[in-house]
Structure 1
Amino acid sequence: MTWYRQSPPTAQAARAARIRRGAVIAFVLFLPLLAAAELAVLATDAGGRCLVYGGCEPFPWRPFLWVCGAAAAAFAAALAAPLRFRAPARGAQVGLQVLAALIVLARP
């Protein structure tokens, strides 16, 4: 038996936890998403030819790294920003991660 009562978390704290949990899940799934996108590219005829024979155009590293950096900044904002900015930051994070996957898919 406890001598004190634990107060249930407020709705605002529960919402912040849900947003934080979603941002962390999206961040953890980002590398598998990129790996799946690269496998999908290599499974195509042009991707397979590029892998075996070479001679394909170089990967656009600069835009890809900018998008990944912006996604990391949005992830940090989703974790640490005031509550009213967390949900838009999580949405921006997911959108930028999808954009990075589309950059990988558009390469061959």
Structure 2
Amino acid sequence: MDQISFFIVVYIAKKRFFPAMNSRVIDAYHLHNTNVYLQQKRLFKQYKVLVFVFLFTFEVYILKEIFLFNLFVVLESISLNLCWFNVTFRLPMLTIPESIENLLF
């Protein structure tokens, strides 16, 4: 008799103090969790798309900057090489007539 009354008290206590043990409450709880999960999943997909777009644009920006910097460096080196070419090959040709002019006058 004591065991039966104990189980009855436990059953009433479960229903009273732990309403999640009720199947309707459990279904509502799971439905709420499912809705929250789906909302979070939707938000996560949206954020994932936003992060992907941000990273893609940032990567394109960085690659563009690197490309432009490399292009600038290449053009600068070409211009420096051309300047070196001008200095080494045109200046002697310019200085020879000047020296000839100096000799003549």
| TM score, norm. by length of structure 2 | 0.31
Q: Greater share of helix residues, 1 or 2?
A: 2
Larger radius of gyration: 2
